[in-house]
Amino acid sequence: MDRKIDELLFSLMQNMTIAVSGEKLARDLGVSHSTLVRWIDKLREAGVEIRGELFTGFRLVRLPDVMLPQLIRPRLRTQTLGRNLYHFYKVDSTNAFASRLVNHGHKVPDGTVILAESQSAGRGRLGRSWHSEPEAGLYLSMILRPKVPPSLAPLFTLATAVAMHNAIERDTRIDVDIKWPNDLLVGGKKVCGILAEIQAEVDMVRTLIIGAGLNVNHSKLPDDIAGRATSLRIASGRIQSRLEILAEFLEEFEGLYRQFEKAGPSLIVEQWTTHSSFANGRAIEINDGVRHISGVTRGLNPLGALRVEEKNGRVTEVYSGDVLRWE
């Protein structure tokens, strides 16, 4: 459905300076006048400013910042990641849509990417929610089928954090830190969160869905998270390009993924360690789902688990969890 609306928006964008007759748009898209009007309304609801009506013709007021596949495709430098692309103006959650796609038996190619302008039920980890303001953020999910046991799945969330870190730094020159396991921080505040969901047999991952939410152009965040969250725009004082960051991210992630398939986790582990101030010497308290572990971080093990030296000198290796406190 949204694919046709993308086509409509793209043709309005190609005719920015003139009003395009509703008659012609409906004919080109092969839909009735009433469907056209409904789609125009849907675009307006999504924040796209369109002037006019069916009989006068429609014209865009300004170039909208929408993640149109027609704009993304020419910028993609990947082989497979993002080549199959779904784009929504509004969806409940890109991760939820991805699992519906996989579960309903559709043949979903590896590396499929789902993008949304806004989410009505963006998900965080452990049942928490993700604030997903329209147009301001990047909300994406990737469908992957790595040939690994479930125990190695957390490596791909580390890889996502590294890829997003590199994409943001390259594109915006903003300093980004990675908080274990996979939040991105700017000036100590969260700018990006990652949610990996896995469908697996006991010894093999069937499908891995990795979602990432990045605050890009929010001018402010809701009061309940404003103290611990920020956006790239707030941090840099400039509007940033979601499109360019996305293209960089997909290229970076595909590079890490391919390297993993060829040579194992070492590059992901090495890059994560280089870019995270949490890798070494941080006092930290973690809930790994079973118990609380407090101690000082001592790097990642070769499979990506965080090594934490506890007070009694014992080193515990933690694959995933929630950081409760850190210094």
Largest CA distance in the chain: 78
In this structure, how many other beta carbons lie within 10 angstroms of the beta carbon of residue 9?
Answer: 24
C-alpha dist (Å) from residue 47 to 42, 64, 105, 107, 288: 9, 8, 34, 33, 41
Closest to ligand BT5 by CB, 155 vs 164, is 164
Contact call for residues 9 and 42 (beta carbons, < 8 A): no
For ligand BT5, give the closer residue by CB, 131 or 282. 131
The nearer residue to ligand BT5, 115 or 247, going by C-beta atoms, is: 115
DSSP class of 59: E
- If the CB atoms of residues 175 and 270 are measured against ligand BT5, the closer one turns out to be 175
Q: How far is the CB of 194 from ligand BT5 (least distance, A)?
A: 6
CB of 268 to ligand BT5, least distance (A): 19
Look up residue 9 and give its two tokens. 């928006």
How many beta carbons lie within 10 A of that of residue 17, not counting itself? 6
Please say which residue, 146 or 211, places its beta carbon nearer to ligand BT5: 211
3-state secondary structure of 101: helix
- Using CB under 6 A as the criterion, which residues of the chain lie in contact with ligand BT5 when the complex forms? 93-95, 119, 122-126, 128, 130-131, 139-141, 183, 190, 193-195, 211-213, 215, 225, 229
Least distance from C-beta 163 to ligand BT5, angstroms?
15
User: Do the bridges between strand 189-200 and strand 306-309 make them parallel or antiparallel, or are there none, so unpaired?
Assistant: unpaired
By Cβ distance, which residue is nearest to ligand BT5? 193
Q: Give min distance, CB of 128 to ligand BT5, in A.
A: 4
How far separated are the first and last CA of the chain, in Å rounded?
48
Min. distance of Cβ 210 from ligand BT5 in angstroms?
Answer: 8
